Amino acid sequence: VSRRPIRSIALGTGPEFDLIRRFLDGAGALPPGVTVGPGDDCAVVEGAALAVSTDLSVEDVHFRRAWLAPEEIGYRAAAAALSDLAAVAARPVGVLVSLAAPAADAADYAVRVMDGVHEAAQAADAALIGGDVAASPHGLVLDVTVVGEAPQPVLRSGARPGDELWVSGALGGAAAAVHAWMAGAEPPPAARKAFARPRPRTREAQWLAARGVLHAMLDLSDGLAGDAGHLAAASGVRIILFPDAIPVHPAVPDVLGGTEGALRLALGGGEDYELCFTAPPGVVAPLAHEFETEFGTPLTRVGRVVEGAGLAIRSPDGATEPLDTAGFSHFRGEGP
Amino acid sequence: VSRRPIRSIALGTGPEFDLIRRFLDGAGALPPGVTVGPGDDCAVVEGAALAVSTDLSVEDVHFRRAWLAPEEIGYRAAAAALSDLAAVAARPVGVLVSLAAPAADAADYAVRVMDGVHEAAQAADAALIGGDVAASPHGLVLDVTVVGEAPQPVLRSGARPGDELWVSGALGGAAAAVHAWMAGAEPPPAARKAFARPRPRTREAQWLAARGVLHAMLDLSDGLAGDAGHLAAASGVRIILFPDAIPVHPAVPDVLGGTEGALRLALGGGEDYELCFTAPPGVVAPLAHEFETEFGTPLTRVGRVVEGAGLAIRSPDGATEPLDTAGFSHFRGEGP
């Protein structure tokens, strides 16, 4: 695949443009489809259908500087945005970053943040194609816009009664890290990594989409309980979760000192950026082993789709009871 | 043109989604080409080539609440971003807004900001197709991403020696308003309007592009001196400005109490969001009257393109001398 060099457009003079030049230093080549890269008023991307999404990262709301290196702040912000492309099974192409930074950060710190953005973008075969910079009177704000090719986007509205509900990976790791930090402790490395270096499941989503098994999909940014609720609302169906099946991240009991509350953190903790999707009965299980071999992460069936509305949980005796997702909002509101 | 109703995707529960529902209330129908609107993980836009740009608006950096109504803050942020589509002669399609707002603003104030966004988007035949919301510990931050169709984007790198340099409209009005506010005065209505309600020249740019006269174009966000410098750098040419020809906004001498310094404000004042373009000699003048009749704003020839690099100004005796754009940075740094 031919990739043309980035920075084909010369920038004018001034400190803002000197900073932008430094931001672009870490960028690789432009992916195919990008006909105008950074430096002009717009980037231009060719493709039959393009998916676009934006994701905000605000200091002391989404992250704290004391918790993360600047490269991790940038990586995480870009990974969270790229995860929205995974959620519709799009192929990532470009990333635009708007960065508001205090004047004191406008040299090395901001450049290190952008190095993290480049790392996340390149890991997804995307590149920085634009953005904006501004002074911030208080704290860092990153807004990452992602552009991907999505000729057949998988929406959250396609779930049908009878579908199975699946998730990739393990849940609650990022929330476990926040839980540890909020308690004044250093999180275990696996939990810290889940928070600081989430891996957007862009290839995994395209792999599943290519096999034609997906009815509906989203990425887990608000926690399984919240996001399954969004999927149910968008699809006009009811979702029943199987609590015993939920793949709890091993760092969760580590941080909590036991299994008590682990399920609540796995259900309510956000920002795992795993895939959550529905598929017709029986079609995913035969693919799960190959998926795990290919991507090093499991697929787990965690629920089913029925007629109705809202979210329910299957209790140990097999009965179902409504799940009040508001009960988990203190996790979402917990950190940082 | 068929426009499908917006809000086709049901959102889940929770205060964040209640707010998003209110944000979407003011939105119109989806423009053609938008196959997935707001509410899913991504918007999806169909088109052969799409232009994408982002533009940050930070409270107390780009605007002050004391100066603008919330609707104007939203309108201005969206208009500034849409102006980047005009700069490449793209047809606006969609707007995504990331809004970080203090908790106290998360009800009526933020909704009024978004009403202003809708107004700007609809005036450009675009619609809100996505975004993000977050709490902000300090002040409003809006990042507006715009998506437009640009089968033949006009870049800032296409200027050639011999070209004429033209601008639309009048320059310095927005800077005059800032100048007045910074001096503790209320700006004259025309200056206030130039700052609060800039009109992105999206239709004007497409009109010029359709006539095949444009070699290079950008929009004036940093001031004519700064932006002509960017155009020269991107094109690898030298630009000579004609100071006597520059169309100074009538509010500028009003605010300054005379013509002294008016030219400096017109050259150095940013955020006029007028078009600045180069074209071969003699091709624009025959179109200027029709342009003014169509759009109610003039086209003015303000310079020429020669071989070399950098920016120069023609002095009254016909000689040219280099223009130090850094000399104008105090205007750009002046406000708010």
Kindly report, residue by residue over B181-200, the tens digit of the pLDDT: 999 999 999 999 999 999 99
In eight-state DSSP terms, residue A162 is T
Residue among B10, B52, B100 whose CB faces A56 most closely: B100
- Is residue A307 within 8 A of residue A161, CB to CB? The reply is yes
Distance, CA of B68 to CA of B58 (rounded, Å): 13
pLDDT given for residue B325 in this prediction: 63
Are the Cβ atoms of B36 and A51 closer than 8 angstroms?
yes
What is the reported pLDDT for A17? 78
The pLDDT of residue A9 is 64
Q: Do A155 and B230 lie within an 8 Å CB cutoff?
A: no
Closest CA to A231 of B35, B263, B247, B40: B40
Q: Please check the confidence at residue B5 and state whether its pLDDT lies above 90.
A: no
Question: Would you state the pLDDT for residue A334?
Answer: 39
- Give the per-residue pLDDT at B331: 32
Among A109-123, B48-62, B108-122, B315-329, whose mean pLDDT is lowest? B315-329
Identify the helix (H) or strand (E) that includes residue B43.
Answer: strand B43-46
Cα A87 to Cα A155, A220, A229, B40, distances in angstroms: 8, 9, 15, 9
User: Which residues from A are below 8 Å from B98, CB to CB?
Assistant: 54-56, 98, 143
Classified as helix, coil or strand, B211 is coil
Q: Note whether A98 contacts B139, CB cutoff 8 Å.
A: no
pLDDT band at B4 (very low <50, low <70, confident <90, very high): very low
The residue count for chain A:
336
Closest B-chain CA to A39: B234
**How confident is the model over A315-335, as pLDDT tens digits?**
888 889 998 765 444 334 334
Residue in B13, B55, B143 closest to A54 by CB:
B143
DSSP A22-44: HHHHT--PBPTTEEE-BTBSSEE
- Residue A313 structure tokens: 């949980």
Strand B91-101, strand B141-149: pairing:
antiparallel
Q: Which two tokens stand for residue A93?
A: 């192409």
Residue B162: pLDDT band (50, 70, 90) is: very high
Q: What is the mean pLDDT of residues B211-227?
A: 95
> What are the tens digits of pLDDT across the range B242-288?
999 999 999 999 999 888 889 999 998 889 999 999 999 999 999 99
The pLDDT value given to residue B327: 41
**Residues in chain B closer than 8 A to A55 (CB atoms):** 98, 132
φ/ψ bin of A110: left (φ > 0), alpha (ψ from -120 to 50), beta (otherwise) = alpha
Chain A: residue nearest B101 by CA? A58
Verify whether the Cβ–Cβ distance B233 to A45 is below 8 Å: no
pLDDT for B8-48, tens place per residue? 567 767 777 788 888 887 777 888 889 888 888 899 999 88
Residues of chain B in contact with residue A38, where contact means CB-CB under 8 angstroms, are: none
CA distance A216 to A183: 37
Strands A43-46 and A34-36: antiparallel
Q: Give residue-wise pLDDT tens across range B282-328.
A: 999 999 999 999 999 999 999 999 999 999 999 888 889 998 765 44
Rg (CA), chain B: 20
CB pairs under 8 A between A and B: 267
User: CB–CB of B41 and A226 under 8 A?
Assistant: no
Q: How far out from the chain centre does Cα A334 lie? A: 19
Average pLDDT over residues B221-228: 93
pLDDT average, residue stretch B67-85: 97
- Indicate the average pLDDT of chain B: 90
**Chain A nearest CA to B257, separation (Å):** 30
Which residues of chain A, if any, have pLDDT below 50? Answer: 1-7, 327-336
Within 10 angstroms of residue A286's Cβ, the number of other Cβ atoms is 9
Q: What is the pLDDT of residue A325?
A: 63
pLDDT for A323 equals 87
Return the pLDDT at A311. Answer: 95
Helices B189-196 & B173-182 angle (0-180, nearest 10): 110
For chain A, state the CA radius of gyration.
Answer: 20
Closest chain B residue to the Cα of A156, Cα to Cα: B40
